[in-house]
Amino acid sequence: MITYLLLMFEFAKTGLFAVGGGLATLPFLREMAMNYPWFTMSDLLDMIAISESTPGPIGVNMATFAGFNAAGALGGIIATLSLVFPSIIVVVIIASFMDRFHKSLIIQRGFYLLRAATAGLIAGAIFEVVLLSLFDVSAYTATKELVTLVRWPALLMFIVLGYLIRRFPKVHPIAFIVGSAALGILLKL
């Protein structure tokens, strides 16, 4: 029962405060990975990769995954609903007031600041994903050799993909996603 309540609380908190969509949930998900045994940082990175290449928001996919890991199918349902429910309530409340207050200078400034906060959350999440994907602090800590700090195959793939995306802007992103997945499977990265 405690697990269900913790899932409900953590994912409701994430759903309420992670304004800006899926990527804005990453700081909250990172905190959960550090504080609860529901998923690891490696699981989070895998889920980001899966979520960014399949339909569905990261937060919902991660809530379902974490809830299922923690407490089975019911845990998955509770975590997912807990993530989505606060947003639904907030949207309904805002929608009921928007007609009356959408021209208010205070409301406009509030949304302006909210966009900045959302951009900050997303930038922080992107920075975290880049660090976790390209660097291996635990390997460096264990060996104290600087060369083990960098995940060389991942860094090489990052550079090559960055070049290819800029060189061939008309190629659909799905081609890069499928190609990267196939390469990762072939090379067992």
145-173: pLDDT as tens digits:
888 899 898 899 999 999 999 999 999 98
Name the nearest CA neighbour of 116 among 104, 105, 124, 128.
124
Q: What is the pTM of this model?
A: 0.68
Q: Which domain holds residue 26?
A: 2-100
Instruction: Report d(CA 154, CA 62) in Å as an integer.
Output: 23
Q: What pLDDT sits at residue 55?
A: 66
Q: What pLDDT sits at residue 150?
A: 92
Q: What pLDDT sits at residue 71?
A: 93
Domain-embedded: residue 155: no
Domain-embedded: residue 169: no
Domain-embedded: residue 167: no
Is residue 96 scored above 90 in pLDDT? no
Mean pLDDT of the chain: 86
Domain-embedded: residue 58: yes
Domain-embedded: residue 189: no
Strand, coil or helix: 101: helix
34 contacts 102 by C-beta, under 8 angstroms: no
DSSP state of 149: T
> Pick the residue with more confidence: 101 or 80?
80
Number of domains in the chain: 1
- Helices marked H in 18-104 — which ranges? 26-35, 41-53, 58-101
Domain-embedded: residue 9: yes
> Pick the residue with more confidence: 103 or 82?
82
Q: What pLDDT sits at residue 54?
A: 66
Domain-embedded: residue 128: no
The structure tokens listed for 140 are 């460096």
Q: What percent of the chain has pLDDT over 90?
A: 29
153 contacts 134 by C-beta, under 8 angstroms: no
Domain-embedded: residue 96: yes
> Pick the residue with more confidence: 97 or 44?
44
